[in-house]
């Protein structure tokens, strides 16, 4: 848990477990600016303003909300150091509809296995994998990983491919932007590209909001964790993509260095984290197109 002693965490979880307060927190998480007023929340929820004020006070007393006065309007936002906790708990209570995520998985894997497997076969494996994982948490992203494993086995992939390019994504904590980029590139490229990540000042764990926005689109993070930036990781890479880590990355000849100006998702509302994810995805797709066009990979035909 982030920034709260254990006994207080349990009490905070009880506060969040109330359906109305969970709805309020979900609205704040999804708000474009990450905040809401009593009037706005009351109108959306169909509740009286005094009722909403009561719930906001309880959440604020637990240190889950910040209150900012602007003129005659009080604005409430989730406290930055509690954002991961709230996102994790509220997300677990959100009704899920995995159909859109599964469609996305099929599209992504069709790109990954293009020229090797038919889209119909990929969809069959994705749907069957989903059925076999009934009752699992993060079912959509687990389905993606499971389907990839089965499709790789179907193709009897043996060993590493010669001439496979490597991409290294580096950010400060290796807990946000670089993890988003690596998960997206692994999903889209598969074995066509080796993907590594590192951080100039790595955090203890990947942030739960990052896991959440990846899970929404069926992209598994896998067993990834924040890692320190090492000399050999840079030397092994053909492309080094940095995001906000300044001059921490050593420069070696023969490698291409790209600096992506992407905001740090730490402490941002979930809507902004989604926008960061989408921005990074667009950049990753462009990078993959470039790698393919430069013929740095050799996709073997189906046997």
What are the pLDDT digits (tens) for 24-71? 988 898 888 889 999 999 888 888 888 888 889 888 888 899 999 999
Residues 19-28 have a mean pLDDT of 84
> 178 lies in a domain?
yes
Q: Please report, for the domain that includes residue 270, its CATH number.
A: 3.40.50.2300
**Domain match, 112 and 180 both:** no
**Domain match, 107 and 10 both:** no
Distance CA 186, CA 110 (A): 13
The total domain count for the chain is 3
> 298 lies in a domain?
no
Q: Give the burial class of 226: count Cβ atoms within 10 A of its Cβ; 0-12 exposed, 13-18 middle, 19 or more buried.
A: buried
Contact between 241 and 167 under an 8 Å Cβ cutoff? The reply is yes
Question: In this model, does residue 76 exceed pLDDT 90?
Answer: yes
What per-residue confidence (pLDDT) applies to 150?
77
Distance CA 239, CA 186 (A): 15
Contact between 201 and 231 under an 8 Å Cβ cutoff? The reply is no
What per-residue confidence (pLDDT) applies to 277?
97
What per-residue confidence (pLDDT) applies to 125?
87
Beta strands in the chain (DSSP E): 35-37, 65-70, 73-78, 166-171, 194-199, 239-243, 256-259
DSSP codes joined into one string, 199-211: ESS--SS--HHHH
**Domain match, 145 and 226 both:** no
Contact between 252 and 270 under an 8 Å Cβ cutoff? The reply is no
> 67 lies in a domain?
yes
Q: Please report, for the domain that includes residue 80, its CATH number.
A: 1.10.10.10
Mean pLDDT of the chain: 82
**Domain match, 192 and 217 both:** yes
Q: Where are the alpha helices (DSSP H) in 37-98?
A: 38-45, 49-61, 83-92
Distance CA 25, CA 45 (A): 12
- How confident is the model over 137-190, as pLDDT tens digits? 678 887 888 888 678 657 743 333 346 788 999 999 999 999 999 999 999 998
Last residue of a domain, one of 92, 113, 136: 92
CA angle at residue 124 from 122 to 128, to 5 degrees? 120
Distance CA 188, CA 244 (A): 24
Q: How would residue 295 be classed by pLDDT, with cut points 50, 70 and 90? A: low
Last residue of a domain, one of 92, 116, 131: 92
What per-residue confidence (pLDDT) applies to 258?
94
Contact between 240 and 230 under an 8 Å Cβ cutoff? The reply is no
**Helix 177-189 with 270-293: angle, nearest 10 deg:** 50
Last residue of a domain, one of 92, 119, 146: 92
**Domain match, 201 and 221 both:** yes
**What contacts 217, CB < 8 A, 6 or more positions away?**
101, 104, 277
Q: Please report, for the domain that includes residue 109, its CATH number.
A: 1.10.8.1060
CA angle at residue 181 from 123 to 102, to 5 degrees? 20
**Domain match, 13 and 75 both:** yes
Question: In this model, does residue 202 exceed pLDDT 50?
Answer: yes
Question: In this model, does residue 241 exceed pLDDT 60?
Answer: yes
User: What is the percent of the chain where pLDDT is above 90?
Assistant: 34
Domain of 14? 6-92
**Domain match, 138 and 232 both:** no
Closest listed residue to residue 163, CA positions, set 137, 135, 183, 193: 193
What per-residue confidence (pLDDT) applies to 260?
96
> 103 lies in a domain?
yes
Question: In this model, does residue 132 exceed pLDDT 80?
Answer: no
DSSP 3-state of 166:
strand
**Domain match, 85 and 10 both:** yes
Q: How many CB atoms are closer than 10 A to CB 35?
A: 19
Distance CA 293, CA 189 (A): 13
- How confident is the model over 261-279, as pLDDT tens digits? 999 998 899 999 999 999 9
Q: How would residue 242 be classed by pLDDT, with cut points 50, 70 and 90? A: very high
**Domain match, 78 and 14 both:** yes
> 223 lies in a domain?
yes
**Domain match, 53 and 27 both:** yes
What per-residue confidence (pLDDT) applies to 162?
44
> 1 lies in a domain?
no
> 262 lies in a domain?
yes
Question: In this model, does residue 297 exceed pLDDT 70?
Answer: no
Question: In this model, does residue 90 exceed pLDDT 80?
Answer: no
Query: Which strand (E) or helix (H) includes residue 212?
Result: helix 208-216
What per-residue confidence (pLDDT) applies to 243?
95
Contact between 230 and 197 under an 8 Å Cβ cutoff? The reply is no
């Amino acid at each position: 848990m982030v920034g709260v002693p254990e006994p207080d965490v349990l009490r905070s979880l009880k506060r969040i477990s109330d359906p109305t307060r969970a709805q309020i927190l979900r609205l704040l998480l999804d708000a474009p600016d990450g905040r809401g007023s009593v009037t706005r929340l009351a109108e959306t929820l169909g509740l009286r303003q005094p009722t909403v004020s009561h719930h906001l006070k309880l959440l604020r007393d637990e240190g889950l909300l910040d209150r900012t006065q602007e003129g005659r309007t009080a604005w409430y936002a989730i406290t930055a150091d509690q954002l991961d906790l709230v996102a994790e708990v509220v997300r677990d209570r959100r009704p899920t509809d995995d159909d859109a995520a599964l469609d996305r998985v099929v599209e992504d894997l069709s790109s990954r296995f293009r020229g090797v497997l038919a889209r119909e076969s990929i969809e069959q494996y994705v749907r069957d994998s989903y059925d076999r994982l009934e009752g699992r948490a993060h079912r959509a992203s687990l389905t993606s990983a499971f389907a990839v494993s089965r499709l790789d086995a179907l193709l009897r992939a043996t060993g590493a491919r010669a001439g496979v390019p490597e991409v290294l994504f580096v950010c400060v904590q290796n807990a946000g932007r670089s993890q988003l980029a690596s998960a997206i590139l692994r999903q889209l490229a598969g074995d066509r590209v080796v993907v590594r990540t590192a951080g100039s000042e790595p955090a203890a764990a990947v942030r739960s909001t990052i896991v959440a926005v990846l899970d929404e689109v069926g992209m598994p993070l896998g067993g990834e964790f924040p890692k320190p930036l090492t000399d050999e990781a840079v030397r092994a890479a053909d492309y080094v993509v940095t995001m906000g880590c300044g001059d921490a990355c050593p420069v070696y000849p023969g490698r291409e260095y790209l600096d992506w100006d992407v905001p740090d998702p730490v402490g941002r509302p979930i809507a902004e984290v989604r926008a960061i994810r989408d921005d990074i995805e667009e950049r990753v797709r462009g990078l993959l197109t470039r790698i393919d066009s430069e013929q740095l990979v050799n996709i073997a035909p189906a046997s």
